[in-house]
Structure 1
Amino acid sequence: DPSFLRHSLGSEPGTPNSPYEYDSKQYQFMSVANATAAGKAKKLTPADKGLIDASKRGDLTKLVELFCNQDADLLATDQYGMTSLHHAARFGHKGIVKYLIENAPPVILDMVDYEKGQTALHKAAWYQRRTICYMLVEAGASLTRTDYQGNTPRLQALRAEDKELAAYLESQEHFQLVVSEDQETAV
């Protein structure tokens, strides 16, 4: 339970003396391409491997302990280029997805795996993890990013035969495009 962890470890994430703070300089201005390249170049430490394993198992307590006490990297990728967010989204671990959204740099939302070029939202859509899709979209995950086969998360939901999820993703895709166009017009 994340609220239990915050209470037992002391303070809210992002507040002074919070055990959840990460070195903002390390992640400052990192693009998805740079984060993916850094993941390919970096050897996985035992703490990073443990973090990814904890995300697969849904072990939030272990994930937090590795991040806070053993300096595990929330952007670490396994040999397939998948982050802990990819695995948590795939296996339906909502608590871990929530923790990563709140504590990892935003670039994690759009990092892609090596094999298929998919984000965590692609994985969640394929495995019909609706709540996780809602969480990722709300956090700002791209709805228009295509994988190596040209599939958006909405198309993944359609391929998985989840029409309701596909309709939701389509409505959010239109909204995201309108907001993006408005921001470009304002500049």
Structure 2
Amino acid sequence: MLLTVSGPAGSGKSTTAAGLAETLDLEHISGGDIFRNLADERGYTPVEFNELAEEDDRIDRDLDRRLYEIARDRDGIVLESRLAGWLAGDTADFRLWLDAPRDVRAARIADREGKRVERAREETGRRERSERKRYADYYGIDIDDLSFYDLVVNTARWTAADVLALLTNAVERYDAAADEGRYPVDTVAEFDV
């Protein structure tokens, strides 16, 4: 099984993906962890590294290539990244998009990173603008197009445990055979990663 978990910063991707992996006995691969490690190795904050990626497409393409290869070559994983659903394309068994209002996400980020909410909100806005531009420029992706996700959830409406229970139930009840051919996704073929 290959599950993808996507969504903006602070939406609960990491918490949910880790919980799904543990509950369903799958491996968790985090694109965000890989990205943050690359930024740290080069001495940048994630926001600075995002902006640097606007000028150097090798940063995104390297990360995306790694995630694409994982999606194509491995099974039994929960792949988590902003583009995980797009990168996995039709190889994904179930594509999830998590979201929450920006103020909720900023508060979560501020709490997690020990910063003021206003700063987290501003950084989140910069990061989203940067990513939206890069995804459109590099791959022609409209990150706001959620039409091929199997399930879109506003995580502000439930606790983390409730979101995990809801999604675990949805994944366990999902019948891929019933959807076969209804929503073909061949976006990966368009990537030049």
Please, what TM-score do these two structures have when normalized by structure 1? 0.30
Bigger relative contact order, structure 1 or 2 (CA pairs below 8 A, ≥6 apart): 2
More strand as a share of residues: 2
Please, what TM-score do these two structures have when normalized by structure 2? 0.30
